[in-house]
Amino acid sequence: MPDAPLDLLLLPTWLVPVEPAGVVLREHALGIRDGRIALLAPHAEALRQPAREVRELPGCLLAPGLVNAHGHAAMSLLRGIADDLPLMTWLHEHIWPAEAKWVDEAFVRDGTDLAIAEQLKSGISCFSDMYFYPQVAAERVHAAGMRAQITIPVLDFPIPGALNAAEALRKGLQLFDDLKQHPRIRIAFGPHAPYTVSDDKLEQIRVLADELDAGIHMHVHETAQEVTEALAQRGERPLARLARLGLLGPRFQAVHMTQIDDADLALLVEHNCSVIHCPESNLKLASGFCPVERLWQAGVNVAIGTDGAASNNDLDLLGETRTAALLAKAVAGSATALNAHAALRMATLNGARALGLDTQIGSLEVGKLADLVAFDLSGLAQQPIYDPVSQLIYASGRDCAKHLWVGGKQLLDDGRLTRMDEDELIARASAWGERIAKR
């Protein structure tokens, strides 16, 4: 029996599969059937296949949808509230008091919607969210059609939506059970940081993560101060403590990691952990520099995240990737560190691997889910084009994101959101801004 017609056949100028690494295919097409990639072939061959819709994408580079491996979506509503401050001052004197005052289910709903829209318009098809009221964030991801890892927030003190860690875990386990069959949402554990979560809670999370085969997503070694204080108080570095407690492993997602010595590197390699690099947030808060090239050369999976808009101040993963590539060269003292193709891999397949999704998304391969982005490289600023991936990373901005699909469903069409009303989102965000500014 012949195959059913393709649902959609896309004809870009360039197709960058990411896997195999470094490949750029010219005049190749991609076919989608039932939400998955069903065909990769030269234009002429592909056009012989029956398709319900054929769409030409002249001047466009078709790539896997970007994966934003770390962020705090609802904090979009706190964008710019406390700029130009060091991390602990920013957290203790501004962000945590603001969250205690304002964060409720309505705040998370509107802030997450704003973040989802911004990310879709930036070419991001999947993101990891670490924030309060995770059930509300999951509802917004479901409604928007996006893909996400939603983490259960755990700290040793009361947080919005949970009086203590036990309540946060209880609600999180219910959410895990409710969404275990969801096609686009995964639930993971999100203990905030080593300095805010006690050993007994971390050990409980380890047991639950093992039972549920769930990820653990955590801020680790974000600043030198964090490491210094841990050594003074406990006599061991935070990563070593996490290793002793059994948390490290292929499902462990270590966010930031600006402080890495030889022993830390050995632990990351031994346990096959992923590191989530957030260069712009780290730069803005003067937190330090993650040694990306050193990690990469040691075989550590390094993904990339924007962090929250309150510390970045945008959710522009393409811009983040450019910063990461430039910073990696400076830190390594080598112009060859983290080239453009490797940087794109970090923002796609490496992010998918960190979230445990690399068999489903992150590269353009037959059988994988059709999470795709088309970047328009036909503009003045991208000319002339010798290597389209270099032009994407070094000469393009998120405004070049033209079309985006998640599981074959188009969520961005010619730069316009298909399921969300931008004017309404702006109005809701502005109303929150006015309320917060008055206080």
Q: What is the pLDDT of residue 41?
A: 98
| Residue 346, pLDDT score | 98
Neighbours of 105 (CB within 10 A): 14
In the block, tokens 């190749």 appear at: 28
In this structure, what DSSP letter does residue 338 have? S
Distance in angstroms (rounded) separating the CA atoms of residues 352 and 359: 8
Is the CA virtual torsion 421, 423, 428, 433 positive or negative? Answer: positive
Bridge pairing between strands 409-413 and 416-417: antiparallel
Share of the chain above pLDDT 90, in %: 97
- pTM for this predicted structure: 0.97
Q: Which are the contacts of 108, defined by CB distance < 8 A and separation ≥ 6? A: 74, 131, 132, 133, 136, 137
Domain ranges of the chain: 8-64+370-407, 66-354
For residue 51, give the 3-state DSSP assignment: strand
CATH fold of 66-354 reads TIM Barrel (3.20.20)
State the greatest distance between any 2 C-alpha atoms of the chain, in Å, as a whole number.
Answer: 70
Q: For the chain, list residues with pLDDT below 70.
A: 1-2
pLDDT number for residue 1: 44
Query: Count of H helices and E strands in the chain?
Result: 17, 17
- C-alpha–C-alpha distance, residues 84 and 104, integer Å: 26
Please give the Cα distance from 272 to 401 (Å, whole number): 33
CATH number of this structure's domain 8-64+370-407, picked from the four choices 1.25.40.10, 2.30.40.10, 2.60.120.260, 2.170.150.20: 2.30.40.10
CA–CA distance from 274 to each of 21, 24, 231, 271 (Å)? 19, 26, 23, 9
Q: Residue 2 has what pLDDT?
A: 61
pLDDT in tens, 291-348: 999 999 999 999 999 999 999 999 999 999 999 999 999 999 999 999 999 999 999 9
Let me know: does 130 contact 153? Beta carbons within 8 Å: yes
Helix axes 165-179, 134-144, angle to 10 degrees: 30
Fold matches, 8-64+370-407 and 66-354 = no
- By residue count, the chain amounts to 439
